[in-house]
């Protein structure tokens, strides 16, 4: 029996027209999209709950998408292809992976060039849109259960995906689907209350710079005046940071104010380790260590923790339950 695929359109460059580019209304774009779909597959097109430039997407938009997918699962859909803008495609991929787990077959894709010409009445002469879409539609019925990102004839585990070029067709990297990778296994059923709560989610990532420790402390003190729910410290190398007593006091004050502090690394690949003497301070603090596949995945994990736990000590108690 031919597997049916739910093709969900969420905007992005893929569906833009004009000069300068602007989104084509979904009601006009979907019929044009249907013209280029392969005839040998059972594909039904859907419009995502929110369509906008991906740089404007937030947690609520992606949770609405997860909820929409979970509703379609109740209608016997198990294979999903998502068309999404590339700016935050890694974040969308990580969130879908964290919240859908291995409950279905999901492939996200997008394009560096629009599908249609500037007038929107025919396909564009040069575009990666059709290739990326066809590749995603092909792989979604062949790949093992889970969430993936398909781009430029490469299929990556969604939690590991990273955009590495602003304009080249080969714009993403990550662990390829045939490689063993960290994957969330349990799904999380998104409720309306989760979407409402996510609207208030405040996550701040601080890429540490090689400046004097007094300036580092001053920056943390400024953040502590209005602390986020989660502060991500991007350290050097494998997660190294130089600290002193005032720095440690700032972290303690942030935690007491309800801010979960997470240490990660600025380096895209390899993760963190604490083999250096400069990092012995971690053993004396309650700072959380990232065990995530990348920065977007860390954001996705922090969002999920925020929805499930209200107190910092709960984050600390359950952090590694959600690897």
Q: Are 135 and 110 within 8 A, CB to CB? A: no
Say if residue 216 is preceded by a cis peptide, omega within 30 of 0. Answer: no
* 104 assigned binding-site residue: no
β-partners of residue 43 are 5
Question: Residue 54, annotated ligand binder?
Answer: no
Query: Is 86 known as a binding-site position?
Result: yes
116 vs 118: CA distance, rounded Å: 7
Three-state DSSP class for 44? strand
Identify the three-state secondary structure at position 88: coil
| Rg of the chain (C-alpha set) | 21
Residue with tokens 């339950």: 321
Q: Mark whether 13 is an active-site residue.
A: yes
Catalytic residue among 13, 60, 264, 265: 13
How far is the CA of 46 from the CAs of 23, 148, 159, in angstroms? Answer: 16, 19, 24
Assign 3-class secondary structure to 151-163.
ECCEEEEHHHCEE
Nearest to 129 by CA among 256, 21, 273: 21
DSSP H or E segment with residue 315? helix 312-318
Q: How far apart are CA 62 and CA 92, in angstroms?
A: 6
Treating both helix axes as pointing N-terminal to C-terminal, what angle do 295-308 and 89-100 enclose, rounded to 10 degrees?
50
Distance CA 110, CA 150 (A): 8
> Which residues define the annotated binding site?
55, 86-87
> Which residues define the annotated binding site for substrate?
55, 86-87
Q: Which residues are catalytic?
A: 13
């Amino acid at each position: 029996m031919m597997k049916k695929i739910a093709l969900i359109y969420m905007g992005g460059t893929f569906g833009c027209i004009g000069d300068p580019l602007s989104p084509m209304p979904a009601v006009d774009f979907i019929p044009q999209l249907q013209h280029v779909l392969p005839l040998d597959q059972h594909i039904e097109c859907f419009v995502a709950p929110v369509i906008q430039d991906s740089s404007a997407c937030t947690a609520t938009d992606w949770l609405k998408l997860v909820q929409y997918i979970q509703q379609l699962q109740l209608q016997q859909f198990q294979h999903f292809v998502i068309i999404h803008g590339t700016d935050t495609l890694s974040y969308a991929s990580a969130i879908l992976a964290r919240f859908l787990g291995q409950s279905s077959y999901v492939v996200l894709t997008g394009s560096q060039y629009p599908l249609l010409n500037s007038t929107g009445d025919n396909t564009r002469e040069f575009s990666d849109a059709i290739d990326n879409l066809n590749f995603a539609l092909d792989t979604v019925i062949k790949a093992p259960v889970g969430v993936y990102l398909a781009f430029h004839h490469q299929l990556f585990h969604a939690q590991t995906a990273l955009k590495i070029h602003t304009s080249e067709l080969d714009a993403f990297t990550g662990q390829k689907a045939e490689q063993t990778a960290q994957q969330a296994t349990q799904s999380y059923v998104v409720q309306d209350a989760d979407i409402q709560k996510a609207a208030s989610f405040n996550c701040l990532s601080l890429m540490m710079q090689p400046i004097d420790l007094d300036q580092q402390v001053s920056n943390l003190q400024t953040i502590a005046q209005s602390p986020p729910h989660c502060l991500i410290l991007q350290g050097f190398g494998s997660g190294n940071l130089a600290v002193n007593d005032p720095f440690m006091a700032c972290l303690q004050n942030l935690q007491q104010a309800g801010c979960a502090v997470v240490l990660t690394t600025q380096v895209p690949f390899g993760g963190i380790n604490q083999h250096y003497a400069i990092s012995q301070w971690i053993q004396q603090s309650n700072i959380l260590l990232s065990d995530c596949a990348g920065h977007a995945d860390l954001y996705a994990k922090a969002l999920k923790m925020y929805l499930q736990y209200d107190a910092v000590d709960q984050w600390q108690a359950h952090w590694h339950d959600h690897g």
